[in-house]
Amino acid sequence: MRLLFDQNLPHDLRDLLADHDIKVAVELGWETLANGELLEAAERAGFDAILTADQSIKYQQRLAGRRIALVVLSTNHWPTLEANGGIILQALERVIDGGYQEVTLARRKLRRRPPPGR
């Protein structure tokens, strides 16, 4: 699958999705494009889906009549994404042309070390 990462995702996520052809919007000079323009440019360039953590995009864009799909992650918090790579991959497998897939991930809590001397 040919994926476009919105600029709000950590680039390390590529490693978890290594079987996919992934580009980041900034690599293509698309970092200043508004959501509608980004969808249009990505679709023209032959991307299958845009992966983003922009929660408001579902209220801003209509996918009716489009080939490109949107996969929206509930967070861009790297430890959470890293711990849930399998869930993200499953969502990508389910997405259809012109579809919308929301992926809710439980935020991973980091263990805090006790202060020295305790």
Bridge partners for 101 per DSSP: 71
Return the higher-pLDDT residue of 64 and 110.
64
Between CA 118 and CA 105 the distance in angstroms is 33
Mean pLDDT of 96-112: 82
pLDDT at position 85 over 70: yes
pLDDT (tens digit per residue) in 10-38: 999 999 999 999 999 999 999 899 888 89
pLDDT at position 108 over 80: no
Q: pTM for this structure?
A: 0.84
Contact 69, 95 (CB under 8 A): yes
Computed over every residue of the chain, the mean pLDDT equals 88
pLDDT of residue 111: 64
CATH node for 2-103: 3.40.50
Distances (CA, A) of 43 to 33, 51, 71, 109: 13, 13, 14, 36
Domain boundaries, the chain: 2-103
Confidence tier at 81 by pLDDT (50, 70, 90): very high
Give all strands (DSSP E) within 1-118, no chain letters.
2-5, 21-24, 49-52, 69-73, 100-103
